[in-house]
């Protein structure tokens, strides 16, 4: 069985997302990676997503809420209620929109609630910020003190500027908060070699390259990292529905990661990162 570390399900928080509304464009993007989009992209059906997860051997999916893009953490509570044990929630926080509110939501949905960590999207919040912006340090300090895993959207095609994904900034954060568990969704792409060095040097950093481990420039380096250097900190993710759970799961298992390391990639590293 597997844990898919990045799935955007058909819930109200994603109703207006481009991957549920511009199917032709998203299908063309998926094709560039040699993949198809998830069936639920066409139907906006939770039942279709659950069927795809079941058929792909994905036991659980990690769901981040995109707070800066209008997402609502209450949607996670509905997911947990309707489909118990199938989803792991990351409460979305937008710290520069109000640190007090961010800390309140951290307490409500994670420390006193059912979520397993938080999701931060510096390049997509209403006020964009760099990960080493000291105004955000109170949130990091709280997460480090309470053992809350922090997942950054860090890398990828869609960004207002590459400066938001500069590895040196993340290196500074990892060094200043060495006990804060950090995962990089989109795996820091395109700075693949740099983030692999960063994760090897800062052992609190995990990489979840999702689609960028699938036929993308630099994907061979992620595979090499999963085969030894970072076998204990590479995490499977699909980024569904842009890449189908089925295609991502099949690729990660057959891309060349050695058999003894596949369980770490597909499940064990996610469980350790999330404290499950």
Asked if the model's pLDDT at residue 69 lies above 90, the reply is no
Give the pLDDT of residue 218.
Answer: 96
Asked if the model's pLDDT at residue 159 lies above 80, the reply is no
pLDDT, one tens digit per residue, over 216-232 is 999 999 999 999 999 99
Asked if the model's pLDDT at residue 73 lies above 90, the reply is yes
Give the pLDDT of residue 40.
Answer: 96
Give the pLDDT of residue 1.
Answer: 86
Give the pLDDT of residue 39.
Answer: 96
Strand 87-92 relative to strand 58-64, pairing? parallel
Q: What is the DSSP letter of 96?
A: G
CB 79 within 8 A of CB 42: no
pLDDT tier, 258 (very low <50, low <70, confident <90, very high otherwise): very high
Give the pLDDT of residue 68.
Answer: 86
- Say whether 200 sits in a helix, a strand or coil: helix
Instruction: State the Cα–Cα distance between residues 275 and 3, nearest whole angstrom.
Output: 13
Instruction: State the Cα–Cα distance between residues 50 and 52, nearest whole angstrom.
Output: 5
pLDDT tier, 158 (very low <50, low <70, confident <90, very high otherwise): confident
pLDDT, one tens digit per residue, over 102-154 is 999 999 999 999 999 999 999 999 999 999 999 999 999 999 999 999 999 99
Per the structure block, which two tokens stand in for 127? 């006020």
Asked if the model's pLDDT at residue 237 lies above 80, the reply is yes
Give the pLDDT of residue 119.
Answer: 98
The mean pLDDT of the chain is 96
* Overall average pLDDT of the 182-200 stretch: 97
Residue boundaries of the structural domains of the chain? 2-274
Give the pLDDT of residue 157.
Answer: 82
The residue that leads in pLDDT, 18 or 159, is 18
- CATH number listed for the domain at residues 2-274: 3.20.20.140
Residues forming beta bridges with residue 118, ordered by sequence position = 91, 150
Per the structure block, which two tokens stand in for 91? 């409460």
Cα–Cα–Cα angle for 180, 95, 164, nearest 5°? Answer: 75
Per the structure block, which two tokens stand in for 267? 């499940």
Give the pLDDT of residue 259.
Answer: 97
């Amino acid at each position: 069985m597997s844990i898919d570390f990045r799935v955007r399900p058909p819930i109200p928080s994603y109703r207006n997302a481009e991957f549920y509304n511009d199917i032709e464009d998203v299908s063309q993007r998926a094709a560039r990676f040699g993949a198809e989009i998830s069936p639920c992209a066409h139907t906006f059906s939770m039942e279709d997503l659950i069927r795809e997860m079941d058929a792909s051997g994905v036991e659980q999916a990690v769901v981040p809420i995109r707070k800066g893009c209008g997402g609502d953490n209450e949607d996670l509570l509905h997911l947990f209620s309707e489909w118990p044990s199938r989803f792991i929630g990351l409460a979305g926080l937008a710290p520069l929109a109000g640190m007090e509110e961010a800390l309140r939501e951290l307490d409500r949905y994670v420390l006193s609630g059912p979520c397993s960590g938080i999701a931060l999207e510096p390049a997509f919040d209403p006020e964009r910020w760099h990960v080493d912006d000291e105004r955000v340090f109170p949130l990091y300090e709280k997460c480090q003190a309470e053992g809350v895993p922090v997942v950054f959207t860090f890398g990828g095609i869609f960004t207002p500027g590459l400066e938001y994904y500069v590895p040196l900034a993340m290196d500074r954060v990892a060094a200043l908060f060495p006990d804060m568990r950090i995962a990089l969704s989109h795996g820091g792409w395109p700075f693949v070699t740099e983030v692999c060095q960063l994760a090897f040097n800062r052992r609190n950093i995990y990489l979840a390259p999702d689609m960028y481990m699938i036929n993308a420039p630099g994907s061979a380096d992620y595979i090499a990292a999963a085969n030894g250097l970072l076998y204990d900190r590479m995490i499977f993710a699909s980024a569904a529905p842009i890449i189908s759970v089925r295609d991502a799961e099949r690729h990660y298992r057959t891309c060349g990661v050695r058999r003894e390391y596949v369980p770490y990639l597909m499940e064990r590293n996610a469980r350790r990162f999330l404290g499950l």
